[in-house]
Structure 1
Amino acid sequence: MENQKKSQNNKFWHWLKTSITARLLMVGFLVIMLLIPLSYINTLITERATRQQDVVNEINDKWGQQVLVYGPILKIPYKTYTETKTFNEKTGTYLKQTQTNIKYAYCFPDTLNATSNVSSKTLNRGNFKSAVYSSQMAFNGQFNPIQLEQKDIKDEDVIWDKATVIIKTSNLKGIKNEVRLSMNTNLYDFNTNFNDASNTYNDYLDELESGYISTNDLPKQHSSSFSFNLNFNGSKDIQIIPIGKTTSMTMVSNWPDPSFVGNFLPNSDTKEITKNGFKAQWQVLHINRAFSQQHLNNIPNLNRFAFGTKFMVMVDEYQKSERSAKYGFLVIGLTFLIFFLIQTLSKITIHPFQYIMIGLALVMFYTLLVSISEHSTFLKAYLIAGISVIALISWYAKSILKTLKFSIFIAVSLMALYTFIYVIIQLENYALLVGSIGLFAILACVMFVSRKIDWNNE
């Protein structure tokens, strides 16, 4: 019985050694099995990327979050009247009562000019870093005479002596100066209006409100000029909303890699970007955005009309590592195919265990890539991991294949393959085109080499 089992095992291994189909099935099975450790590598990359984002959020929360500002906005109370009728059963008549209600009109300035000087830097926490900045923002402009008659509000119903100015912002915590509004020649301090729903940058903004504005400073019959400063500690981005009938903004920063975001881009003829920083200018007219200069009762959510600049460290090592790992199946499959063709053409026997060792070495490339890129650039990490794995597999191939020429051929093939993948990762617009051409060339080479194999020799 034991001899029979031994004989069957010998037949199986003899079939595996001599049959091209058996070797091909074995190589395919091993490639599929190595997808399991590759999936763990992808999980590791995702976990590290998530950890990076958590650290960045923690740094930004302590320093200051993203900045969105718009103002000043005149908040003018006015009276409305509600008439009610009450039936008097004794007299059989209706008694009319008029109730006075207080509502508010919100008026935007006619001109709004903003200048922002931004000093950026990076803060590190372990292997991770985040871009933060300190900004000095200066606003000035003017209100033209307010004409609430257009909203069917009579002048005698306007409570001018209770008018205030409000400024909305997303980052009260990051303000580093006392905010004072200069209206004509007078100064007005601001207080915060707590908004229980103002905890989400995308939906709500905190509010600063001044004391009552002197009627002499209000734009009743004449224009009123204004100015105020806001100094912020912030992160990620800085944006304003163009509430002026004509809104202009100039931003100067030492950040060398800005990303202009929002609903409006800076003027292309005034934009300057160098390795020492950038300067950009915007101009937005009221005809460019879909909201009016006056609003009754409340101000709509205007966040989608914001524009400005994003300050972020372009840490794409994890993204590039993830893209590299997606080509893991291709690398393992083509490497095994090279060994299979060498084994088939040269009649050299390669044990399945040796294929597994080669596959695990290829998988180790990605763990080396992720771990080294956290302490260096992606290019250096890719070179170190690639050279290490190629040297290891070439040395191992020398001991398996017993000849130097095959070992050199495998080293050159792996170098070409890793170089090809690196080029694809760096490309954006032409990644698909270059990848398709490269795969076509690889397929042509495989077809050219495999034409000499006698597939009927089983």
Structure 2
Amino acid sequence: MEASNNPQQNKFGNWLKTSITARMLIVGFLSFVLLIPLFFIQDLIRERSHRQTQVINEINQQWGNEVLIYGPILKVPYKTYQEKTVTDKKTKAVYTETIEDIKNAYFFPEKLNINSTINPEEKKRGIYTTAVYNSKMNITGAFTKPVFSDIDINDKDILWDKAKIIIQSSNVKGVNEANLNLDSTNYELTSKYNGKKNYNTNQLVLHTLETKTLNKNQLLFQKPLSFNINFNIKGSEQIRFIPTGKQTEAEITSNWQTANFFGEFLPFNDDKINKDGFHAKWKILDLNRPFSQEHYNGIPDLKEFAFGVNFMIPVDEYQKSERSAKYGFLVIGLTFLVFFLIQTLSKINIHPFQYLMIGLALTMFYTLLVSISEHSNFLKAYLIAGISVIALITLYSKSILKTFKFPLFIGLSLTALYTFIYVIIQLENYALLVGSIGLFLILTSVMYVSRKIDWNNG
């Protein structure tokens, strides 16, 4: 056999073993290589989060999507006239023709009172859960006589015998009961197809429920026209109302403990949350909203002024997992730095393959975290994944470093690092501040320890 006595190879091999610069280059290269599995893990988290959204949307569509109530609204048709100049093709005579057109005016009620009792429940499919509910609501109030003076319409051109009351809702599929009583006269609400479908989940489509033409005698308005509407409707995630009344008052009662009030207007009562759920109250005046009581050019889009309650179950495990994965490179880099400092100060040789195994063990933390958090809460998943990885790396480093003090130091360092990242994930307003302070302290510690290293030996 022919032995290899190439002095160049021996010199390069010794440089790799003894040079601090060579070790730094190898550790840096391995750190960047481990970014590849970290990117795949982040894609996995996003994929699982997207799957969760799909399943929840499927459950909601089958049960009934979120509920947005807009109304009631009094619709009164009226005639308009427009003169048009016409030229006769044969005689070339020019004359004026009056064209009649029928338009609709929409009037909001003078008073609107909403009283709703909501009973949410959890619906599960596989490992995913969403909130659905049954809502019983009673809507009362009164209309005053509409005024057409703003558009200069004669009384004879107002088609009172064609007037109707309409209500718009984002969810007609979930309606189980809808009764309207107008001054002791019952009217049936029927669905009217508006030619729109909710293909875009970000754009909420409102569907119309309307009565038949109202009794003309009721529209004499010798007194305010009072109404009483009973709604039983199934929905999911949230319920909202648009304050169409000149004075709108609303009360929502539920046994749901983790309600989130949102929208343009919030409840005014401080005791809305109690041990049995919540009882929230709103009072909104026409002075509080930037729209009028009458509209002559169609029903305006006022969804942005809605108020209501959100019943969604706060599931943010995927979001927290994704945030923790973003710190993956920091964890790998700092862990490698600890091993590098121990190797340099103690003269213990650590093979690049051993660095690679340690880095892969650190990436396994995130797959464990995601998989366990799908079946438990985030804290338990974080503890199980963290303890498992810290124990694995500590025991593995014992076989490399041959002592107890260095593996113990590594275990404590990883524990402090994972605890630090968990605290940052939980914080919102102070995450940047705490993170900056923590990184500053880490840098200070590294600078303090590395001062003993002879960097000229490289």
TM-score after normalising by structure 2:
0.95
Identity across matched positions, percent: 58
Match of 1:122 in 2: 122
- Deviation for aligned residue 1:115: 1.3
- 1-structure distance, mates of 2:43, 2:37: 10
Match of 1:215 in 2: 216
Q: Which range moved further: 423-432 or 150-159?
A: 150-159
Match of 2:299 in 1: 299
- 1-structure distance, mates of 2:395, 2:336: 16
Letter of the 1:429 counterpart? N
Letter of the 2:181 counterpart? S
Give the direction of change, closer, same or farther, for the CA distance of 1:117–1:95 in structure 2 (3 Å limit).
Answer: same
Match of 1:325 in 2: 325
Letter of the 2:39 counterpart? S
Report if the CA contact (8 A) 2:34-2:359 is conserved: yes
- 2:419 counterpart of 1:439: no
Q: Which range moved further: 195-204 or 395-404?
A: 195-204
Report if the CA contact (8 A) 1:203-1:301 is conserved: no
Once the two structures are superposed, what CA deviation does each residue of 1:223-265 show, in whole Å capped at 9, x if it has no partner? 1110101111111211111111111111112222222222222
Once the two structures are superposed, what CA deviation does each residue of 1:39-87 show, in whole Å capped at 9, x if it has no partner? 1110110110011101011111101101111111111111222334556
Report if the CA contact (8 A) 1:181-1:189 is conserved: yes
Give the direction of change, closer, same or farther, for the CA distance of 1:305–1:82 in structure 2 (3 Å limit).
Answer: same
Give the direction of change, closer, same or farther, for the CA distance of 1:160–1:410 in structure 2 (3 Å limit).
Answer: same
Give the direction of change, closer, same or farther, for the CA distance of 1:28–1:89 in structure 2 (3 Å limit).
Answer: closer
- 2-structure distance, mates of 1:123, 1:87: 68
Letter of the 1:236 counterpart? E
- 2-structure distance, mates of 1:180, 1:350: 79
- 2-structure distance, mates of 1:157, 1:432: 65
Once the two structures are superposed, what CA deviation does each residue of 1:160-209 show, in whole Å capped at 9, x if it has no partner? 122111110110111111x2211111111111110112536735411011
Match of 2:284 in 1: 284
* 1:117-196 paired onto structure 2 within 5 Å: 117-177=117-177, 179-196=178-195
Letter of the 1:234 counterpart? G
Give the direction of change, closer, same or farther, for the CA distance of 1:91–1:195 in structure 2 (3 Å limit).
Answer: closer
Match of 2:101 in 1: 101
* 1:52-451 paired onto structure 2 within 5 Å: 52-84=52-84, 86=86, 96-177=96-177, 179-199=178-198, 202=203, 204-218=205-219, 220-267=221-268, 269-274=269-274, 276-451=276-451
Report if the CA contact (8 A) 1:181-1:228 is conserved: yes
Q: Which range moved further: 277-286 or 386-395?
A: 277-286
- 1-structure distance, mates of 2:282, 2:421: 40
Report if the CA contact (8 A) 1:77-1:160 is conserved: yes
- Deviation for aligned residue 1:91: 9.4
- 2-structure distance, mates of 1:386, 1:429: 25
- 1-structure distance, mates of 2:250, 2:276: 20
Once the two structures are superposed, what CA deviation does each residue of 1:311-359 show, in whole Å capped at 9, x if it has no partner? 1111100000001111111111111111111111111010001000101
- 1-structure distance, mates of 2:352, 2:214: 85
- Deviation for aligned residue 1:275: 5.3
The count of corresponding residues between Structure 1 and Structure 2 is: 456
- 1-structure distance, mates of 2:92, 2:254: 76
Where 1:230 maps in the other structure, the secondary structure is strand
- 1-structure distance, mates of 2:7, 2:262: 73
TM-score after normalising by structure 1:
0.95
Once the two structures are superposed, what CA deviation does each residue of 1:69-111 show, in whole Å capped at 9, x if it has no partner? 1111111111222334556799997655444322211111011
Give the direction of change, closer, same or farther, for the CA distance of 1:91–1:421 in structure 2 (3 Å limit).
Answer: closer
Where 1:429 maps in the other structure, the secondary structure is coil
- 2-structure distance, mates of 1:382, 1:276: 32
Give the direction of change, closer, same or farther, for the CA distance of 1:405–1:287 in structure 2 (3 Å limit).
Answer: same
Give the direction of change, closer, same or farther, for the CA distance of 1:44–1:5 in structure 2 (3 Å limit).
Answer: farther
- 1-structure distance, mates of 2:393, 2:220: 80
- 2-structure distance, mates of 1:354, 1:162: 84
- 1-structure distance, mates of 2:45, 2:60: 23
Give the direction of change, closer, same or farther, for the CA distance of 1:397–1:152 in structure 2 (3 Å limit).
Answer: same
Report if the CA contact (8 A) 1:143-1:219 is conserved: no
Unaligned runs of 5+ in 2: none
Letter of the 1:228 counterpart? I
Once the two structures are superposed, what CA deviation does each residue of 1:119-163 show, in whole Å capped at 9, x if it has no partner? 111111111111111111210001112222333111121121221
- 2-structure distance, mates of 1:389, 1:92: 95
- Deviation for aligned residue 1:415: 0.6
- 1-structure distance, mates of 2:91, 2:193: 50
Where 2:456 maps in the other structure, the secondary structure is coil
Q: Which range moved further: 310-319 or 95-104?
A: 95-104
Match of 1:49 in 2: 49
Report if the CA contact (8 A) 1:198-1:206 is conserved: no
- 2-structure distance, mates of 1:64, 1:6: 78
Where 2:189 maps in the other structure, the secondary structure is strand
Report if the CA contact (8 A) 2:254-2:278 is conserved: yes
Q: Which range moved further: 282-291 or 383-392?
A: 282-291
Report if the CA contact (8 A) 1:271-1:281 is conserved: no
- 2:30 counterpart of 1:30: yes
Q: Which range moved further: 438-447 or 95-104?
A: 95-104
